[in-house]
Amino acid sequence: MEPALSPTRRDEDWRYSDVEALASLDQDTFENWRDIDVAAGESVCESIVIDAASGTDLRRLRVRIGKGGRCELFAVNAGGRLGRVEIVVRLATGAHFEFGGVTLGGGDTTREFVTRVAHGEPGATSNQTVRSVHWDSGTGNFLGRIDVVRDAQKTNAGQDFKALLLNKGASANAVPQLEIFADDVKCNHGATVGQLDEAARFYMAARGIPPELSQKLLIRAFLADAFLALGDEAERERLLELALDALGERA
């Protein structure tokens, strides 16, 4: 059974979420998990976009990747009072999971990614890159759990989270959780929260670039990291533009 509706902030997975926003969801939506099954040796690449103007958008995905398979998911999480994407991944031998996501939001919105990547067999790799830009009282969260079982030797798993807060009052939370029971693995994670680089902005201004444009260029460069692994250039541009649209006059 999946957890019942109405989690509280006492639940580790909902600690930084806007649980009140869930009231607008019915039980069916809440229990609806979408399955992505990647057969052995196959590869799947998908984009997830949340850009609804209001309300709450919860997406739950269950990904199983067969032997040597590959699944790449890229997400723009920039809509709803609460925009939440949960991804549970199971990797077979030699499989790869790639995730690149951005969260953007102002007002009182919360935008979050919750991933749980299980390396259940040897030699699988996973890489997750999340970039968050928030303003007003907006919140961006990345809760990323990586489980490596005892047999999953030669696992290589990485997680990288960076958040940019455009004003005081905005916040970002990173909760990396690594549970590793194998001894020959590489796992790394990094998380930073910061502001726009003022030295870079002055440098750009000194070359004639007005503040609005330098902010846009810097944010664009910051967000682009999340989609670097996306091979399809047109799709990469589309996702980046969607993300920048969410910034409105800020970029």
Partner 1 sequence: MLKIDNLHAEVGGTQILNGLTLEVNAGEIHAIMGPNGAGKSTLAYVLGGRPGYQVTDGSVSFMGKNLLDMDPHERAALGLFLGFQYPVEIPGVSNVQFLREALNAQRKSRGEEPLSAGDFLKLAREKAALLQMDMDMLKRNVNVGFSGGEKKRAEMVQMGILGPKMAVLDETDSGLDIDALRIVGDGINAMQRAPDKAVLLITHYQRLLEVVKPDFVHVLAKGRIVKTGGADLALTLESEGYEAVAA
21: three-class secondary structure by DSSP? helix
Q: Does 198 bind partner 1 (CB under 8 A)?
A: yes
143: three-class secondary structure by DSSP? strand
Rg (CA), the chain: 18
Q: Does 199 bind partner 1 (CB under 8 A)?
A: yes
Phi and psi, residue 131, nearest 5°: -125, 135
How are the residues of the chain apportioned to helix, strand and coil, as percentages rounded to the nearest 5? 25, 45, 35
CB count, 10 Å around CB of 122?
17
User: Residue 90 in contact with residue 121, Cβ under 8 Å?
Assistant: no
Hey, what are 125's tokens? Answer: 């790799």
CB of 244 to partner 1, least distance (A): 13
CB-based burial, 213-242: b 16+ in 10 Å, e otherwise: ebbbebbeebbbebbeebeeeeebebbbeb
- Cβ closer to partner 1: 116 or 216? 216
Q: Does 205 bind partner 1 (CB under 8 A)?
A: yes
Binding mask 155-194 for partner 1 (x = CB under 8 A): ----------------------------------------
Find the part of the chain contacting partner 1 (CB under 8 A) among 37-45, 90-98, 154-162, 208-216.
208-216
CB of 251 to partner 1, least distance (A): 13
The interface with partner 1 within residues 107-166 (CB under 8 A) comprises none
Q: Which amino acid is at 201?
A: R
Q: Does 224 bind partner 1 (CB under 8 A)?
A: yes
Q: Does 229 bind partner 1 (CB under 8 A)?
A: no
Out of 218, 232, 235, 238, the only residue in the binding site for partner 1 (CB under 8 A) is: 218
Q: Does 222 bind partner 1 (CB under 8 A)?
A: yes
- Cβ closer to partner 1: 87 or 102? 102
- Cβ closer to partner 1: 179 or 212? 212
Distances (CA, A) of 163 to 3, 4, 10, 105, 232: 29, 31, 24, 12, 25
Size of the site for partner 1 (CB under 8 A): 22
Out of 210, 241, 245, 248, the only residue in the binding site for partner 1 (CB under 8 A) is: 210
User: Residue 102 in contact with residue 131, Cβ under 8 Å?
Assistant: yes
CB of 117 to partner 1, least distance (A): 26
Residues 126 and 141: their CA atoms lie apart, in Å, by: 20
Q: Does 45 bind partner 1 (CB under 8 A)?
A: no
Find the part of the chain contacting partner 1 (CB under 8 A) among 46-54, 105-113, 221-229, 239-247.
221-229
| Residues that bind partner 1 in the complex, under the rule CB under 8 A | 197-200, 202-211, 213, 217-218, 220-222, 224-225
